A and B are shown apart, each in its own frame.
Chain A
Amino acid sequence: MIIAGIDMGVQNTRAVIIKDNVVIGRGAAPTGGIDRPEMAMKAYEDALSAAGIAAGDVSKVYATGKGKFDVAFADAVLTETVAAARAARFYFPEATAVFSVGADETLAAALGRERLISEFVLNQKCSAGLGIFITYLARRLGMTMAQAAAVDVADACAVNDGCVVFAELDALSMMNSGEDADAIMAAAIKAVAVRAATVLCDLTAPVGDKVVLVGGFTQSPAFLKALSSCMGREFLVPDDAEFCGAVGAALAGAEAE
């Protein structure tokens, strides 16, 4: 059976085609604004093209992500937590927890044996928009996202890690006092890592030693280093980390049928 998953995030949309539990095609598009339904279709068509099949060959399409209700052609929608958890188990069958840090949402789930998810935590207002903040700050600092992802966080100074609004004010103060862009970005990434970590720490169930990290921030070595440093643990990052939402939606959706 061939199934498809679409993960429409706040900034990026990913699509995958899965045949017999193997990902055979991937597609991506910026989520866009008012044209989100078209962007979902574009990512899907890219994935179909990469898989070398037509839409008619796909049995079911499952959507997840903040924009999941804009994927008009989806047969069903799934919550981001369920999709992330299912993907974590797909890539790492021994996974004990999943941790997703994206443009808007941060979520953590402890994975169980009898039930896939034994406990979950979604960020509340104060941890929303971490990825969007870094994107915005990079633009302001004249950096590309690749440059932002490569800064050295080892000796970064601290900015406010309670709220990105305050973090931004601290970053502006650093700009005004002549700090260089790399140092400002490093401080911001460190703050974002601390803020994201609070969500994982909010789980009361033991997270175990195999925590799978997914979401857009997996593409930032600087963030990975800052997160590992502040939490004192390493994370398992799938090769396909950016596509995990889509993979998980497809698998969990099909299993729920």
Chain B
Amino acid sequence: MKGQIWETRPLECWNLAKEIRRSYDGAIAGKDKVLGQGMSSFTLDWASAFPAIRVVEDNPVGAMMAAQDEPFARKARLASEVRGWGREICGYHNNCWGAQFLGHTSDGNPFPEREFTVPFPCVCDSHIKRGQQCRDYKPIARWTNDFTMYIGERDEKREEAMLDHRNYNTLKMLNEMEIVFGQKLDDEMIYDMAKSYTNIGDIRSEIAYYMTFKPTPLTVKDMYSFFQLRPSPKMGPDVLAKFWESLRDEVKWRVENKIAAVGTERFRWLEAHPPPWHYLKYYRYMEQYGAVCLGSQYANLRELLIEPDGSYEVRSYTEPAFSADMELTTREDAVRFMTTPDARSPRHWKIEEYIEPYKLNDMMKIYNCDGALLGLWRAGVGCTLTRKEQAIRLREEGYSVMVYEGSQPGDRVDLDEKRLLEQLDTWMESLGFRKFED
């Protein structure tokens, strides 16, 4: 390969990842399922513990629509806009909602009717509206999954009350779903999930640590694929946990043997936020320059505990809230086991902008990065808060920063793709890099 600096080879665990994905896709297909709209997060994939309740999130559906069928995505957005949903709404929501209004998906099949919705609030602007749109469309059951967000000084009593509220909401939702849909939640599976997911959380932290090495054994585009893996009845939480363990072992081995994810790695960069989800190909474009993306506040912040002096340690997901081998005997145990460390983690990365504005600077040092790419969104605008200030803070420390405009997830309307590529060319060229193919 032209410009190759490091030895590289494909990840061996890709095959298992693809198998898990296929198994999950198969599990949500079929007409016998109760589908819901909402968040089935990595840390609390509660829907999988019901025999036939599945969550269809707006995010992947809307983003895939933009990636695979732009004419249909445009039609869908228009259908949403004429009903009053403005362009400031996240693009993937507008895509998804429009398809719901049109009544079909891009392949002509009926849009999957949702029987319930579980929105959650988020500062980016519109997550909570997901539930509103669904309910406006058709009267369906609605539960709410709160976040435990508070940007003031750490206050343990307040935190405890917030967690109680969140856990109560979750338990209430699970109990009521059993009644409303006549399905029994598999508590044993919830216990397994709680254990395996928290274990996976710790493994992810280790992997994030290995990505600080040069050359990086893994890039963020790989991680985005793995983040989306979910268990299925056939390939349950234990298989998922095994996958992450094998990924961690492989990544460790690659670090020890200096096996790079990208053989031409010579420029390492972070971003504040992922690009529009349909546009992940820009990572590969940057790799033509030997520029490798290590992640973002969005993707990596929760993995490492960064102290105010910039020192850090790999974060344990369960400790110190609970012991990792704590025995779970009730549904509430399992819910608390999962939500408590999650709530205390720095995963609510948008808060960082208010309380720890130099966090991206810290990450730049930890990940040995050279530059940062910051998006300014015209939709999902909450994600854009303080980006320009962040650019100033990074430049103060000598990092090269590029800022670009677009619309965040899953919408091509305000992303000028050609323009973005020109900007990337300019950024790289201004730093003295040429594409290896030139």
How many residues of chain A are within 8 Å of chain B by beta carbon?
21
Q: CB-CB < 8 A to A79: which residues of B?
A: 422, 425-426, 429-430
A76 to B435, CA, bound (A): 11
Q: CB-CB < 8 A to A205: which residues of B?
A: 395
B324 touches A (CB below 8 Å) = no
Q: CB-CB < 8 A to B434: which residues of A?
A: 256
B391 touches A (CB below 8 Å) = yes
A256 to B426, CA, bound (A): 14
B158 touches A (CB below 8 Å) = no
Say whether, besides A119-B401, A124-B405, A204-B388, A82 and B438 are in contact (CB < 8 Å): no
Q: CB-CB < 8 A to A183: which residues of B?
A: none
B68 touches A (CB below 8 Å) = no
A243 touches B (CB below 8 Å) = no
A120 touches B (CB below 8 Å) = yes
Contact indicator A115/B431 (Cβ below 8 Å): yes
Contact indicator B422/A122 (Cβ below 8 Å): yes
B392 touches A (CB below 8 Å) = yes
Q: CB-CB < 8 A to A78: which residues of B?
A: 429
Residue of B whose beta carbon sits closest to that of A122? B423
Task: Give B388-427 as 1s and 0s: 1 = Cβ < 8 Å from A's Cβ atoms.
Answer: 1001100100001111010000000010100100110111
- From A76, A117, A124, B430 is in contact (CB under 8 Å) with A117
Q: CB-CB < 8 A to A109: which residues of B?
A: 430
B432 touches A (CB below 8 Å) = yes
Q: CB-CB < 8 A to B431: which residues of A?
A: 115
Contact indicator A81/B426 (Cβ below 8 Å): yes
Q: CB-CB < 8 A to B427: which residues of A?
A: 120
Q: How far is the CB of B378 from chain A (nearest CB, A)?
A: 10
Contact indicator A204/B391 (Cβ below 8 Å): yes
Q: CB-CB < 8 A to A118: which residues of B?
A: 395
Measured as residues with beta carbon below 8 angstroms from the partner, the interface class of chain B is 20 to 34
Residue of A whose beta carbon sits closest to that of B392? A204
A202 to B136, CA, bound (A): 41
A140 touches B (CB below 8 Å) = no
Q: CB-CB < 8 A to B388: which residues of A?
A: 204
A125 touches B (CB below 8 Å) = yes
A61 to B427, CA, bound (A): 22
A58 touches B (CB below 8 Å) = no
Say whether, besides A76-B438, A79-B425, A120 and B430 are in contact (CB < 8 Å): yes
A172 touches B (CB below 8 Å) = no
Q: How far is the CB of B28 from chain A (nearest CB, A)?
A: 38
A85 to B426, CA, bound (A): 11
A80 to B423, CA, bound (A): 10
Contact indicator B416/A81 (Cβ below 8 Å): no
Q: How far is the CB of B425 from chain A (nearest CB, A)?
A: 5
Contact indicator B429/A82 (Cβ below 8 Å): yes
A210 to B402, CA, bound (A): 23
A96 to B144, CA, bound (A): 54
Say whether, besides A119-B395, A204-B392, A205-B395, A124 and B419 are in contact (CB < 8 Å): yes
Task: Give B99-115 as 1s and 0s: 1 = Cβ < 8 Å from A's Cβ atoms.
Answer: 00000000000000000
A141 touches B (CB below 8 Å) = no
Say whether, besides A76-B438, A204-B392, A205-B395, A122 and B426 are in contact (CB < 8 Å): yes
Contact indicator B391/A120 (Cβ below 8 Å): no
Q: CB-CB < 8 A to B430: which residues of A?
A: 79, 81-82, 85, 109, 115-117, 120
Contact indicator A256/B416 (Cβ below 8 Å): no
A121 to B423, CA, bound (A): 9
Q: CB-CB < 8 A to B425: which residues of A?
A: 79
Q: How far is the CB of A223 from chain B (nearest CB, A)?
A: 24
Q: CB-CB < 8 A to A117: which residues of B?
A: 430
Contact indicator B426/A82 (Cβ below 8 Å): yes
Q: CB-CB < 8 A to A124: which residues of B?
A: 405, 416, 419
Contact indicator A256/B438 (Cβ below 8 Å): no
A40 to B411, CA, bound (A): 37
CB proximity to A under 8 Å, residues B360-399: 388, 391-392, 395
Q: How far is the CB of B5 from chain A (nearest CB, A)?
A: 19
A246 to B388, CA, bound (A): 32
Q: How far is the CB of A66 from chain B (nearest CB, A)?
A: 9
Residue of B whose beta carbon sits closest to that of A107? B426
Task: Give A118-135 as 1s and 0s: 1 = Cβ < 8 Å from B's Cβ atoms.
Answer: 111110110000000000
A85 to B429, CA, bound (A): 12
A255 to B265, CA, bound (A): 23
Say whether, besides A119-B401, A122-B419, A124-B405, A204 and B426 are in contact (CB < 8 Å): no
A125 to B434, CA, bound (A): 26
Q: CB-CB < 8 A to A204: which residues of B?
A: 388, 391-392, 395
Q: CB-CB < 8 A to A121: which residues of B?
A: 403
CB proximity to B under 8 Å, residues A72-97: 76, 78-82, 85
A116 to B400, CA, bound (A): 12
A135 to B340, CA, bound (A): 63
A120 to B404, CA, bound (A): 11
Q: How far is the CB of B91 from chain A (nearest CB, A)?
A: 16
Q: How far is the CB of B339 from chain A (nearest CB, A)?
A: 39
- From B414, B423, B432, A256 is in contact (CB under 8 Å) with B432
Task: Give A93-106 as 1s and 0s: 1 = Cβ < 8 Å from B's Cβ atoms.
Answer: 00000000000000
A204 to B387, CA, bound (A): 12
A79 to B434, CA, bound (A): 11
Q: CB-CB < 8 A to A115: which residues of B?
A: 400, 430-432
A79 to B429, CA, bound (A): 7
Q: How far is the CB of A99 from chain B (nearest CB, A)?
A: 15
Q: How far is the CB of A119 from chain B (nearest CB, A)?
A: 7
A115 to B370, CA, bound (A): 14
Q: CB-CB < 8 A to A256: which residues of B?
A: 432, 434
A79 to B425, CA, bound (A): 7
CB proximity to B under 8 Å, residues A213-251: none
Residue of B whose beta carbon sits closest to that of A204? B392
Residue of B whose beta carbon sits closest to that of A77? B438
| 4 closest cross-chain pairs (CB), A and B | A117-B430, A79-B426, A124-B405, A81-B426
With A118-B395, A122-B419 already in contact, 13 other A-B pairs whose C-beta atoms are closer than 8 Å:
A76-B438, A79-B425, A81-B430, A115-B400, A115-B430, A115-B431, A115-B432, A124-B405, A124-B419, A125-B419, A204-B388, A205-B395, A256-B434
**Chain A to chain B contacts (Cβ below 8 Å), 11 pairs:** A76-B438, A79-B429, A79-B430, A82-B430, A118-B395, A119-B395, A120-B430, A124-B405, A125-B414, A125-B419, A256-B434
